[in-house]
Structure 1
Amino acid sequence: MKNILSFTFLLFFSLSVQSQILNPVKWSYAAKKINDKEAVVFLKATIQPGWNIYSQFVDEGGPVPTSFVFSPSKNYSLVGKTGEPKPASKFEKTFNMNVKYFQNSAVFQQKVKLNAKETTVDGTLEYMACNDKQCLPPKEVKFSVVIK
């Protein structure tokens, strides 16, 4: 009886470990005021070793690019496009093309013009994470950054 209980426990434990959802990318957010009328919003991806996410600038037919959609607000307006660090580039057989990607971490930046002393910048980002064995489905993440 003891062996059956031990086997059952191990079976359920192994199934629960295998069924855990992979989440190799963690996002964090911050903002820095430049002056009373401008600020920069920082969106940082911390990427587990062996995984990568892709640049905002990926050719058609490639992986899903990282993208940002900022919610409209009367309290701020976007200045230019979202900036990104210089990505690495390599040929990926999966997509049969050179792709631009980030490993370990990447900090994206969006400059905003402030129309209020204090505001919250909200939006949604989308990204796709891959390693050398698999690509996860694209994931959308909501974000919110307070600027004081």
Structure 2
Amino acid sequence: MKKAILILTLMFFSAVGAFAQLENPVSWSYKATKISKTEAIVYLKATIEDDWHIYSQNIKPGGPNKTVFTFTPSKDFSLVGKPKEPKPITKFEKSFKMDVLYFENEVIFQQKVKLNKGTTVVKGQVEFMVCNDKQCLPPSEVTFSIPVK
């Protein structure tokens, strides 16, 4: 019995240690700016560590996972179009055998919203994949909550 407890304890601490070593080379920040009484722009900024990159929203099938924004529906606002992004870097990646579109260092995505109420909170999630020249990490999902005042 003591051996089983010891083995389980060792497995637990090994798993905790493995999770502590997971890399997280992308951090996200958010803000919103009203452009009129009834419209605002939500900014979603990814800050990317050196030698890493995230992919555009416009990746063709068969390649890496593209960046995807999902906004939680609300009666307080509606989306105007799709999220916009700056011009990405285009490069042929051997591992995917295709040209891919990606961003390094930092990228700011923008989503215009029509306000049905003076103040609101835009909520949702972003799913993205991050790679460097040696490896790709599994896709990550981050939730956000952006006040619009």
Superposition TM-score tier, normalisation by shorter sequence: 0.7 to 0.9
For the residues of structure 2 that align with 1:96 and 1:118, how far apart are their CA atoms? 46
Runs of 4+ with deviation above 2 angstroms: 16-19
Tell me the TM-score normalized by structure 1. Answer: 0.88
Match of 1:72 in 2: 73
Task: Give the secondary structure class of the aligned counterpart of 2:81.
Answer: strand
Q: What fraction of aligned residue pairs are identical, expressed as a percent?
A: 59
For the residues of structure 1 that align with 2:99 and 2:62, how far apart are their CA atoms? 11
- Paired residue total: 135
For the residues of structure 2 that align with 1:68 and 1:17, how far apart are their CA atoms? 29
Match of 1:112 in 2: 113
Match of 1:31 in 2: 32
For the residues of structure 2 that align with 1:127 and 1:135, how far apart are their CA atoms? 11
Match of 2:9 in 1: none
Q: What one-letter code is carried by the residue in structure 1 that aligns with 2:37?
A: D
Shift of 1:19: 5.2
Deviations 1:94-120 (A, max 9, x none): 100000000000000000000001100
Root mean square deviation of aligned Cα: 1.6
Deviations 1:7-27 (A, max 9, x none): xxxxxxxxx599511000000
For the residues of structure 2 that align with 1:103 and 1:146, how far apart are their CA atoms? 27
User: Is 2:142 the counterpart of 1:141?
Assistant: yes
Show the 5 A alignment for 1:1-148: 16=17, 20-148=21-149
For the residues of structure 1 that align with 2:73 and 2:61, how far apart are their CA atoms? 28
For the residues of structure 1 that align with 2:34 and 2:109, how far apart are their CA atoms? 16
For the residues of structure 1 that align with 2:66 and 2:19, how far apart are their CA atoms? 28
Structure 1 gap ranges (5+): 1-15
Tell me the TM-score normalized by structure 2. Answer: 0.87
Q: What one-letter code is carried by the residue in structure 2 that aligns with 1:125?
A: V
